[in-house]
Amino acid sequence: MPNPSRSRVRAIAILAAGAGLIFALSACSPSPGAAGPAPAGNAGGTMPDAHIHGLSVSSETGQVLLATHDGLFDMSKKPAAKLGPTNDLMGFTGGTDHGVLYASGHPGEGSDLSNPIGLIRSTDAGKTWEQLSRQGESDFHALTATKSGIIGFDGALRTSTDGTTWSTVPADFVPTVLAGNPTSDTVLATTPQGIRRSTDGGQTWTTVDSGPVIQFAAFATPAEAVGVEPDGTVHSSGDAGATWTRKGKIQDTVQAVAAVKGPEATLSIWAATASGLVVSTDGGVTFRPVDAS
């Protein structure tokens, strides 16, 4: 007679392996051609014909930035404006202060940066960049900022309080995305096996046993987080990722996610998809193209 416990373990392993394949294909495959017309109004440019690695939306100015294989683009401009040099920005995150960005990846055509580029920082919203550390050593595919500093994954999980000196943190998981908030020390790591969560700036981690298997995650505030499964199903959390509620679904291939709470305390969830930018203003229940009025 089959052992129910053994069968359940085998089923979970199969599901995790399948999720891992979806995560890997989505994270590493290039975009299927041009992503089509996109945002008018607040984000009125045309989507760049490049794979998107990161998305940032400013709560102060509404500026929408896309970090791509071909550099950084300001989607708030019409048409979209290329910012700074051409580099493959594999890792991308905002800092504590307005206009501060961190990135990592590989140098593009015409760039004089080392390969990989290590950690670089911009203090003018992506127009210019300075090299901070690990040039020629690290390509942080996952990167986020917390109250305590920077967390990145370049094959090892590393933390830094100042962006220049680093410590390696023991970890038994490979994060697809690291999501934090610059005013909090809570961090979420998405993995094919489920969500990992840290409340001490990435030093120690626990598994969110009741949470969904999400591929993308983002914080709008220290308490409010959003997550998106590989199939586009959206979840939200009001307790910094400890528990989750299922919402709606994004009907397209998601490449990056951002969440922001503006001056009027309205939560917006943004997603860069294969067809353009979409946004939700009802907590993730419904999404519309950004160019829709």
Q: 190 or 8: whose pLDDT is higher?
A: 190
Judge whether residue 209 has pLDDT over 70: yes
Angle at 253 between CA 245 and CA 22, to 5 degrees: 80
Judge whether residue 274 has pLDDT over 60: yes
Q: What is the pTM of this model?
A: 0.84
Averaged confidence pLDDT in the chain:
85
Identify the pLDDT of residue 46: 63
CATH, domain 4-93+170-289, list 2.40.480, 2.120.10, 2.40.128, 1.10.357: 2.120.10
Identify the pLDDT of residue 23: 58
Rounded distance between C-alpha atoms, residue 194 and residue 227, angstroms = 11
Judge whether residue 3 has pLDDT over 90: no
- pLDDT tens per residue, range 109-151: 888 899 999 999 999 999 999 999 999 999 999 999 999 999 9
- pLDDT tens per residue, range 6-25: 433 333 333 344 444 445 44
Percent of the chain with pLDDT over 70: 83
Sorted by where each begins, the domain ranges of the chain are: 4-93+170-289
Identify the pLDDT of residue 31: 30
Question: Which region, left, alpha or beta, applies to residue 11 given φ > 0 means left and ψ of -120 to 50 means alpha?
Answer: alpha
Highest mean pLDDT among 12-16, 43-47, 249-253: 249-253
Judge whether residue 162 has pLDDT over 80: yes
The structure tokens listed for 33 are: 């051609």
Q: 192 or 50: whose pLDDT is higher?
A: 192
DSSP code per residue over the chain: ---HHHHHHHHHHHHHHHHHHHHHHHHHSPPSS---S---GGG-SPPPSS-EEEEEE-TTT--EEEEETTEEEETTSSS-EEESS-EEEEEEEE-SSTT-EEEEEEE-TT--S-SS--EEEESSTTSS-EEEE-TTT---SEEEE-SS-EEEESSSEEEESSSSS-EEE--SS--SEEEE-TT---EEEEETTEEEEESSTTSS-EE-TTS---SEEEESSSS-EEEE-TT-EEEEESSTTSS-EEEEE-SS-EEEEEEEE-TT--EEEEEEETTEEEEESSTTS--EETT--
Banded model confidence at residue 70, pLDDT cuts 50, 70, 90: very high
Identify the pLDDT of residue 1: 45
Identify the pLDDT of residue 118: 98
Least confident of 59-73, 144-158, 177-191: 59-73
- pLDDT tens per residue, range 211-247: 999 999 999 999 999 999 999 999 999 999 999 999 9
